[in-house]
Amino acid sequence: MILVSWKICLVAYALSAGLLFWHIKGKGSPARVWYRVIVIVGFAAQTSVILWGVWSALRLPITNLSGALHFLSWCTVGAYLLAAWRYGVASVGVVALPLAAVMWALGGPPRLPASVSPLVDSHWLTVHGLLSFAGEASLAIAFGAGLLYLLQERRIRSRCSVESLGRLPSLEILDEVNYRCLSVGFLLLTAGIITGAIWASEVWGSYWSWQAKETWGLITWLVYAGLLHQRLNAGWRGKRAATMAVLGFLLVLFTFAGAGLMGSGPHRFDKFQG
Amino acid sequence: MPLILIGANHKTAPLELRESLSFGPEEQAEALQSLLEPPGLDEALILSTCNRTEVLAHGADPHVCVQRVRSLMVGRSPQLERELEEHIYVLMDSQAVRHLFSVASSMDSMVVGEPQILGQVKEAYRLAVQNGTAGPMLNRLLHHAFRVSKRVRTETDIGRGAVSVAYAAVEMARSIFRSLMDKTVLLVGAGEMVELAAKHLKERGVQRILVSNRTLSRAEALAAQLGGQAVPLESLSSQLYRADMVLSCTGSQMPIIGLEHVKSALRTRKNRPMFFIDIAVPRDVDPRVGNLNNVFLYDLDDLQKVVENHKGARQEELKKATAILEEETKRFSSWLNTLEAEPTIRALARWADQVRQGELERSIQKLKGLSEKERETLEAMSKAIVSKLLHRPISRIREQSGKEGSAGYLEVARELFGLNGETK
């Protein structure tokens, strides 16, 4: 049953991403209603898999790579739905949905994580995990809005027809979504790092131990801090801000996956399992 | 029953001439009276907008009509008397009908499909009715025109955004800005292109409009009309930062918005995007401005490019609309032609009656001593013969005259019955 949900979700996201791509390319306009129904069905199936994980492990199912990928995928779509509903930028799904689908697929069919060492099994896992993952999901939407901004700007500069320009949101709204998601993502990420440090100090007695993930997380945090600072004070907008948001998110992905697989410490997914 | 239309529009006459030909509402009432006062014209209507002045007249003699209207126009601009000839068009009957239909359905507008023109035609008709210069002909014609306009609007997509600078500019702006409501538009120059585009922008929800022009009074006039604010040209560079969208069309030989102006404006507005539309030839905005980040510069060619695809679809719509115009013109013309046959028919009937009465008199004189009853019978018989004989030709004339190319038919009928020289 859970396997079926996993498959439904994968198919639904792939399908809706394809529909959106088709629409943005200008090859026809699929009915909006169908697009919405497919995304909602996918998200419902995905939510059921996540809830099943939480229910059976009685904690956030993020202690192995598969669970973490699944949960980040779910957060990304959640953030996407919020942004699409709040700002009317459904097209951002052309980035967010394939991203979510790939993470969902890489995570593999859902299975229960093995037991974890009692050392890390605490409420801090929930708090630190939720904040960090939500922050990363928000930055993923900033990434999507940034990519679309760059695409739309190129279309405008190359004098594309108004008809094809109309298939993407306006630059102003994409820039705003980029900015909002960046701010929210940055705040959540900051809170995630702080709660992580408190948790570490409770378990090991030291706030910071320069693990690979911590180090790269800090670098990522600094990059985003710099970008936000430039945005607020130097009037960085539009193309430059969009490019930075895209690059910043590549760093997030690297920190999440790369640094999670190398190095040592509790962020190494296989080390969770005791 | 000739119907004539004489006018000048944006396609045939330069702005100055159109300006001198335009009528305010009071002038219009006066002009209508002066047209109909001397005998010869039965009905008249004046349509005067910023893009056209057209006079529609109906009277027995086309030459009188044309002469009367022409002298009214020459009176408006005596210095242009010689030039006038090359800038006005004189249309007769079905051509006049087709033209009026195309004007009313916004096919003849500078911005094809713009909606105001119908209101302007209605207003012109209202004035004609008010001044008692609209009779059965114009009543029927104008109501038909309103119906045609409605048909074109509902059966085609002509009204769905016009192929024009203003349309393209607004569509472009929508891919840059989230909404036009909270944006400021700066107009540089106050010519007709700018004015027209500004009206379109206002219709699409733009609230704040600044107008800058070499002659400040003109800028003030346009600003007042648009509910905007005038900016002297000298302070253009210091005010530039306020504008999200700049629409420029001046006659200046040198660019009036330079790279440095825009750079400093961007600094003041913290890089909030700016959209420049430069429709002037030669250009008003330094082309290098378009390379700046967060600045988008479009000139006339670019705007044409972005609506090109759209044009294909519109060609289809235009074809559909033209077909409607043709169909409706034919319908009205056939009614018009039936009217044309009326004098001939009346002349025919009159002639036949004269013949009948002459013959009747002669017979009665010959048959002296007829009783009252017998005379009456004789008279009734003569009437019956005439009306039976005439019934067929008259209904044939009526029938044929509704059709295309019936003028020859009427001519033959006149010739056949020797009516020429009698109808006039």
Supply B185's token pair: 């538009």
Contact B141, B100 (CB under 8 A): yes
Q: Please report which helix (H) or strand (E) contains residue B216, including its range.
A: helix B216-226
Closest alpha carbon within chain A to B275: A156
A235 vs B: CB within 8 A? yes
The yes-or-no verdict on residue A162 having pLDDT over 90 is: no
Using CB atoms, which residue from A159, A172, A235 is nearest to B176?
A: A172
ipTM: 0.84
A121 vs B: CB within 8 A? no
List, in order of start, the domains of chain B with CATH numbers: 3-155 (3.30.460.30), 165-293 (3.40.50.720), 339-417 (no CATH)
Interchain contact, A156 vs B296, CB within 8 Å: yes
* Least trusted range by pLDDT, from B55-64, B223-232, B284-293, B415-424: B415-424
Task: Reduce the DSSP state of residue B90 to 3 states and report it.
Answer: strand
Interchain contact, B306 vs A172, CB within 8 Å: no
- pLDDT for the residue A87: 92
Interchain contact, A170 vs B308, CB within 8 Å: no
Longest dimension (CA), chain A: 61
Interchain contact, A236 vs B178, CB within 8 Å: no
- CB proximity list for B196: less than 8 A, separation 6 or greater: B110, B111, B164, B165, B166
DSSP designation for A257 = I
**pLDDT band for position A273 (50/70/90)?**
very low
Closest alpha carbon within chain B to A176: B178
The yes-or-no verdict on residue B242 having pLDDT over 90 is: yes
What is the distance of C-alpha A188 from the center of its chain?
12
Closest alpha carbon within chain B to A162: B306
| B136 or A77: which leads in pLDDT | A77
Strands annotated E in B60-183: 89-92
Residues of B serving a catalytic function are 50
Cα distance between residue A9 and residue A17, in whole Å: 12
Q: How far apart are the first and last CA of chain A?
A: 29
pTM: 0.64
Interchain contact, B175 vs A239, CB within 8 Å: no
Using CB atoms, which residue from B174, B177, B293 is nearest to A238?
A: B293
Give the DSSP per-residue string, A40-100: HHHHHHHHHHHHHHHHHHSS-S-SSHHHHHHHHHHHHHHHHHHHHHHH--GGGHHHHHHHH
For residue range B112-142, list pLDDT tens digits in order: 776 778 888 999 999 999 988 888 889 999 9
Give the DSSP per-residue string, B119-170: HHHHHHHHHHHHTT---HHHHHHHHHHHHHHHHHHHHSSTTSS-SSHHHHHH
**pLDDT band for position B163 (50/70/90)?**
very low
What is the distance of C-alpha B216 from the center of its chain?
32
The yes-or-no verdict on residue B424 having pLDDT over 50 is: no
Among B177, B213, B182, CA closest to B195? B213
Interchain contact, B175 vs A166, CB within 8 Å: yes
Beta bridge partners of B8: B53
Task: Reduce the DSSP state of residue B281 to 3 states and report it.
Answer: coil
Beta bridge partners of B7: B54, B89
Cα distance between residue B197 and residue B173, in whole Å: 13
**pLDDT band for position B159 (50/70/90)?**
low
Cα distance between residue B49 and residue B197, in whole Å: 16
For residue A108, is it left (φ>0), alpha (ψ between -120 and 50) or beta?
left
Cα distance between residue B86 and residue B92, in whole Å: 17
Among A87, A94, A106, CA closest to A143? A94
**pLDDT band for position B162 (50/70/90)?**
very low
- SS3 letters across B149-160: HHHHHHHCCCCC
Using CB atoms, which residue from B172, B272, B296 is nearest to A162?
A: B172
Contact B247, B185 (CB under 8 A): yes
Burial of B342 (0-12, 13-18, 19+ CB in 10 A): middle
**pLDDT band for position A269 (50/70/90)?**
low
Among B84, B88, B70, B96, CA closest to B7? B88
Interchain contact, B294 vs A168, CB within 8 Å: no
Cα distance between residue A249 and residue A108, in whole Å: 23
Q: How far apart are the first and last CA of chain B?
A: 12
Cα distance between residue B193 and residue A177, in whole Å: 36
Q: Which residues of A touch B298 (CB under 8 A)?
A: 159
A237 vs B: CB within 8 A? yes
Share of chain A above pLDDT 70, in %: 89
Interchain contact, A156 vs B309, CB within 8 Å: no
The yes-or-no verdict on residue B148 having pLDDT over 90 is: yes
For residue B315, is it left (φ>0), alpha (ψ between -120 and 50) or beta?
alpha
Contact A68, A57 (CB under 8 A): no
Closest alpha carbon within chain A to B303: A159
A176 vs B: CB within 8 A? yes
Give the DSSP per-residue string, B43-55: EEEEEE-SSEEEE
The yes-or-no verdict on residue B300 having pLDDT over 80 is: no
For residue range A113-135, list pLDDT tens digits in order: 666 666 667 788 889 989 999 99
Q: Which residues of B touch A235 (CB under 8 A)?
A: 267, 270-271
Kindly tell me the sign of the dihedral angle through the C-alpha atoms of A165, A171, A177, A183. positive
Task: Reduce the DSSP state of residue A111 to 3 states and report it.
Answer: coil
Residues 18-37 of A with CB under 8 A from B: none
Burial of A229 (0-12, 13-18, 19+ CB in 10 A): exposed
Interchain contact, B310 vs A235, CB within 8 Å: no
Contact A2, A52 (CB under 8 A): yes
- pLDDT for the residue B38: 83
Q: Please report which helix (H) or strand (E) contains residue B248, including its range.
A: strand B245-248
Q: What is the mean pLDDT of residues B145-162?
A: 80
For residue range A4-51, list pLDDT tens digits in order: 999 999 999 999 999 888 888 876 666 678 888 999 999 999 999 999
Mutate to test the interface with B, among A162, A165, A177 (most CBs of B within 10 A): A162
Cα distance between residue B189 and residue B212, in whole Å: 6
CA distance A254 to chain B (A): 29
- CB proximity list for B348: less than 8 A, separation 6 or greater: B390, B393, B394, B397, B413, B417, B419
Using CB atoms, which residue from A161, A172, A235 is nearest to B308?
A: A161
Cα distance between residue B16 and residue B80, in whole Å: 10
Using CB atoms, which residue from B175, B306, B309 is nearest to A170?
A: B175
Supply B88's token pair: 């006005």
Cα distance between residue B65 and residue A184, in whole Å: 75
The yes-or-no verdict on residue B298 having pLDDT over 60 is: yes
